[in-house]
Amino acid sequence: MGAVSLTDIVKRFGSFTAVQRMSMDIPEGSFVTLLGPSGCGKTTTLRMIAGLIDPSEGEITIKGKRVNDVPIHKRNLGLVFQNYALFPHKTIAQNVAFGLKYRDLSKADMDRKVRDVLDLVQLPHVADRYPKQLSGGQQQRIALARAIVIEPDVLLLDEPLSALDANLREDMRVELKRIQHRIGITTVFVTHDQSEALAMSDRVVVMSDGRIEQVGTPEDVYNTPASEFVSRFLGISNILSATSKGANAGGLSLELPVFGQITVPKEKAPHVEGAGPVKLVIRAEKLLLTDLSAPRDERAAFDGVVEAVDYQGQAARYFVRVGDQQLQAINMIDERPFQEGETVSVRFRPRDCAALPGAPS
């Protein structure tokens, strides 16, 4: 059993079901991210773990103990939300010490804990300042310090970085992960930002419409999506219609219009059984465009025509036509980007593709 377990959790608001029979185990010490688009039920799930709202059905356990009827302040959780809500008229040290007020600690112990946690978030020098004297990123670190000073069993973070500007957000990702690693605390993180989820998590739970679509490591969900939704949500994917001819020695044999026959390794098609319609997923980053004269390697190669170029500095996103299909490729720019109208070689490795059952939607 995990540090946090949900079993058959349902949450209804009136006639609307926000979370539809969700079960998951969050291993002790892990960093697990609930990832999905707005409205998919991430926050509702987190709020049920926190005890801010009650599930309509199902059981929640924390460290093996059923907590459905345990009020929030007795669950021993650390919470950080997007609006970090520090008390403006208290000093930073007083803000951080707030959670310790009801613990039976001497003043000396309390001061030591506050000092230690301010060291941990690398802001030992701000103890006597007030929140408005700190930057947004510093305030967010203090909100984190306030949550972890009580030594909670689980840290719950709801889009804690989304109020920060882009550069700071990236710095804080690294910082948050460092702190989580250092203290080894079980963490549940909510975000709709796929790059945040991939960068920070041990495990990602991809959600849509109140349901879990896939649970896996960042590499699993990125490289072997379990559904079309997951492959689209985790970035730009080309989803091609194909027909499975069944297994052969090298993996799963597929027939595609234009591209012909390719074989995808079995582990890249874990849900495809036997012959029939399948979708072949090729990530835009895995589709390589080269000059027609570039030497061949193990990649399958087809001629295509660049129809549009979205220049992104170091890289470009190309819209390229191969036969009657328009595909997207994101490639680093070597010397110059390919131009609109240019004929290029479009190449990919079958092992960089994933196959899913059924025809594309």
Give the binding site for ligand ATP (CB under 6 A).
13, 16, 18, 36, 38-44, 192
CB of 84 to ligand ATP, least distance (A): 16
Nearer to ligand ATP (CB atom), residue 79 or residue 344: 79
* Contacts within 8 Å (CB) and 24+ apart, 295-303: 297/347, 298/349, 299/347, 299/348, 299/349, 300/259, 300/262, 300/347, 300/348, 300/349, 300/350, 301/345, 301/346, 301/347, 302/258, 302/259, 302/345, 302/346, 302/347, 303/343, 303/344, 303/345, 303/346
Query: CB of 188: closest distance to ligand ATP in angstroms?
Result: 13
33 vs 44 by CB, closer to ligand ATP: 44
As measured in angstroms, the least distance from the Cβ of 43 to ligand ATP is 3
Smallest distance from the beta carbon of 40 to ligand ATP, in angstroms? 4
Nearest CA-CA partner of 8 in 79, 57, 48: 57
Supply the minimum distance, in Å, between the C-beta of residue 76 and ligand ATP. Answer: 23
**Is residue 93 within 8 Å of 112, Cβ to Cβ?**
no
Q: CB-based burial of residue 125 (10 Å sphere; 0-12 exposed, 13-18 middle, 19+ buried)?
A: exposed
Q: Which is nearer to ligand ATP, 36 or 350 (CB)?
A: 36
